[in-house]
Amino acid sequence: MPGMRVLVVEDDEGIAHGLELALRHEGWAADTVPGVEAAWSALTVEPFDIVLLDLGLADGDGAQVLQRLRRAPPGRLPDPATPVLIMTARDQVASRIAGLDMGADDYVTKPFDAGELAARIRALRRRAAGRAQPELLWGELAIDPAARRVTRAGKAVELSSREFGVLMALMEARPRVLSRQQIEASLYNWESLLDSNAIEVHVHHLRRKLGDGVIRTLRGVGYFVPAEPAP
């Protein structure tokens, strides 16, 4: 499910790097912070779709982040509804139980399997979006986020991973309008530099491949996908 932005809270540089690679391989944007305070700062300034939270951090217990997050007032950042996946060692059953009871949505054990981690993140994201079925349907379009496959009236549509990310961001937000910056933020890391025309170019290609009715422009504001296709 590209278009997703993940905060990795992990103090072990090797593990953090492995997680970043696994997440980017899925086409997701990953930002990594090493501790409790840095995690809180990140959550306060940016919205994240998922938090991967190590419980044993150098400057404290990751559970502190979880507890503070779940107690935060709704309607502003940090968003207390942000899905959280905790990471523990295989033998740390007690801390997994405590974490789940404290409001974590799921867990993975280290060493993690990249495929399982990605599947758990997709499942969390589906639940957060309020849908149980893995495929997203919109008119003649069927989008399979796990396989990153799009069909239109049953025919495969070939999209680049960035195009797929733009489409997923707009589909998941529909019918809300997303600005270019919001689309970029869901695709790229903080440190990445991006040609300011890139989103327009991706949208142009998507329209050519999917037809004109899917992605609409709200002039001067951004792009959106209508809640339902035009009849």
SS3 120: helix
Task: Say which residues have a Cβ less than 8 Å from residue 108's Cβ, sequence separation at least 6.
Answer: 85, 86, 87, 116, 117, 120
CA separation for the pair 135, 212 (Å, rounded): 22
CB of 93 to Ca ion, least distance (A): 17
- Residue number, 8 or 166, with CB nearest to Ca ion: 8
- Ranges within 167-206 binding Ca ion (CB under 5 A): none
Tell me the closest approach of the beta carbon of residue 67 to Ca ion, in angstroms: 18
The distance of closest approach from Cβ of residue 91 to Ca ion in the complex, given in angstroms and rounded to an integer, is 14
Task: Kindly state the smallest distance separating residue 196's Cβ from Ca ion, in Å.
Answer: 38
Separation CA 72–CA 80 (nearest Å): 5
Q: Which is nearer to Ca ion, 11 or 105 (CB)?
A: 11
Closest residue (Cβ) to Ca ion? 56
| Minimum distance of Ca ion from residue 105's CB (angstroms) | 20
87 binds Ca ion (CB under 5 A): no
Residue 167 and residue 150 in contact, taking contact as beta carbons nearer than 8 Å: yes
Stretch that binds Ca ion, among 4-12, 82-90, 111-119, 172-180 (CB under 5 A): 4-12
CB of 12 to Ca ion, least distance (A): 5
Query: With binding defined as CB under 5 A, does residue 139 bind Ca ion?
Result: no
List all residues 6 or more positions away from 8 whose beta carbon is below 8 Å from its beta carbon.
Answer: 16, 19, 20, 23, 30, 31, 32, 33, 52
The span of 1-9, 52-60, 71-79, 136-144 binding Ca ion (CB under 5 A) equals 52-60
Interaction of residue 52 with Ca ion, rule CB under 5 A: no
Separation of alpha carbons 222 and 231, rounded Å: 23
Which of 26, 49, 54, 184 is close enough to bind Ca ion by CB under 5 A? 54
Nearer Cβ to Ca ion (92/182)? 92
> What proportions of the chain, in percent to the nearest 5, are helix, strand and coil?
40, 20, 40
Give the strand pairing for 5-9 and 50-54.
parallel
11 near Ca ion, judged by CB under 5 A: yes
Residue 56 lies near Ca ion (rule: CB under 5 A): yes
> Where do contacts with Ca ion occur on this chain (CB under 5 A)?
11, 54, 56
